[in-house]
Amino acid sequence: MAYDDYRSFEEPGDELHDDEYPDPDEFDDDTTETVPCPECGADVYEDAEQCPACGVYITHEHSALAGRPGWWIVLAVLGILATVVVLLAGFFGP
C-alpha cells in the first residue's frame, strides 16, 4: 500500500467547526483541592505524594478510627466485647 493510504483516516467533512471546539472555561483547574503540608504549611495538591516546597513525603492516613471522638471508640470496643461475650455464652452455655 502507498503512504497516502495510511496518512489519514479522516473523511471529507470531518473537520471541526469553530462552534465545536471546547470552551476554555471547561478546563478550569481551580477546583483541585489543596491541603497544607504538615511540615512547612505550603499548599499541596491533595493527591500529592511529596511537598514541592520542602520535599517531605506526605502520608494520608486512612484509618477507621481517625477523626472519631473518644466516646465513639469506647462504645465500639464495648459493642465488640458484648458480641464476644454473647457468642461465648451461647457456645459454652447449657
Q: Tens digit of pLDDT for each residue in 25-82?
A: 666 555 678 888 888 988 888 888 888 889 888 876 666 666 678 888 899 899 999 9
More confident: 10 or 3:
10
Of residues 3 and 81, the one with the higher pLDDT is: 81
Query: Is residue 11, in this structure, part of any structural domain at all?
Result: no
Q: Quote the pLDDT of residue 30.
A: 57
| pLDDT in the model for residue 62 | 61
CA-to-CA dists, residue 88 to 42, 80, 83, 92, angstroms:
53, 12, 9, 6
CB distance 46 to 35 below 8 Å = yes
Is 44 a domain residue?
yes
pLDDT attached to residue 79: 95
Please check whether residue 26 lies inside any domain of the structure: no
Question: What distances in angstroms separate CA 20 from CA 13, 17, 23, 26, one per listed residue?
Answer: 13, 5, 9, 13
More confident residue, 23 or 90: 90
Residue 53 or residue 7, greater confidence:
53
Let me know if residue 56 belongs to a domain.
Answer: yes
Domain that holds residue 37: 32-61
Report if residue 53 sits inside a domain: yes
Looking at the structure of the chain, the number of domains it has is 1
Instruction: Flag whether 41 is in a domain.
Output: yes
Contact at 8 Å (CB) between 4 and 13?
no
The answer to whether position 8 is within a domain reads no
Within a domain: residue 57? yes
Whole-angstrom distance between the N-terminal and C-terminal Cα of the chain?
87
